[in-house]
Amino acid sequence: MIYHLIDTKKYNVFEHSDSENVWIDFRKYTPNNTNAVVKDMINSDDFLRTVIKYHNPNKNKLFHVFRLYRESESVFITDGALNMFPSLDERLYFAVQTAKWCLQNHQMTTSDVVWFLNHSGHFNLKNKTSNESELLVIGYKQMGLTQCNCGQLDSALSYEIRKIKNGDTIDKNAKIIVVNDINEGNSIIKAFLLNGWYGTGFLIGADVHVVMNSRSNLEMNKETLNLLENK
């Protein structure tokens, strides 16, 4: 069963169901043959607290991934919705686990690129983010999953720009982008959605599929479920 969590006290929405779906106030929700939990008309904080309470028995580090796509282009961004100021260890964990998910679900190959964002196209010892992104590249390369690099967003999304700026020989645009904090990630995601891109958001780490899109983007919930179910 797919449970769509809503807040009937705050929004003008009503509980109902069909053969595969139940729309239920989050205060009443308890797992019952749950295959997926979907954020509907409900605040993110209330939704996340419910998911963590019922669907993280192993106390995994949950994190949010957003797949942005337009025509033949697609990129995964993490984490712009759940973890506010992740540590280096956490950002490396997000990168590795997202790459594993993408590889298992045929969304990327080992020749694709994981990208750690920073402010500049060159290393700057005086800049904390620049230092951290270089360390994350070293840490990720030790995992041996895919290719990786670090730098600015335009370089991540355009091999041609990257080649002009620093002569990079990796001839692919980034497939996974790991942001530095929730402010950066959320701003990037919203900017793309406002400029003609589509997005499907979900959590990795729970014991069921978890769909988490913005309340302004709920029309993508079904497509997100299809992505998670490999349809």
pLDDT recorded at residue 159: 81
Mean of pLDDT over the chain: 93
Per DSSP, the residues of 85-152 read S--HHHHHHHHHHHHHHHHHTTS--TTSEEEEE-S-SS--TT-HHHHHHHHHHHHHHHHTSSEEEEE-
How much is the average pLDDT of 217-229? 93
> What would the pLDDT profile of 98-153 be if each residue is shown by its tens digit?
999 999 999 999 999 999 999 877 777 888 888 999 999 999 999 999 999 998 99
> What would the pLDDT profile of 58-92 be if each residue is shown by its tens digit?
999 999 999 999 988 899 999 999 999 999 999 99
> Residue 105: which of 35, 45, 176 has the closest Cα?
176
More confident residue, 217 or 49: 49
Name the phi and psi angles at 74, rounded to 5: -155, 150
pLDDT recorded at residue 67: 96
How does residue 168 score in pLDDT terms, banded at 50, 70 and 90? low
How much is the average pLDDT of 18-27? 96
DSSP helix/strand/coil, 9 = coil
pLDDT recorded at residue 167: 60
pLDDT recorded at residue 43: 95
Q: In degrees, to the nearest 5, what angle opens at C-alpha 133 toward C-alphas 202 and 201?
A: 10
Decide if pLDDT at 171 tops 80.
Answer: no
Distance CA 41, CA 7 (A): 6
Say how many C-beta atoms besides its own lie within 10 A of residue 152's C-beta: 17
How much is the average pLDDT of 30-54? 96
pLDDT recorded at residue 108: 95
pLDDT recorded at residue 135: 95
Full-model pTM: 0.92
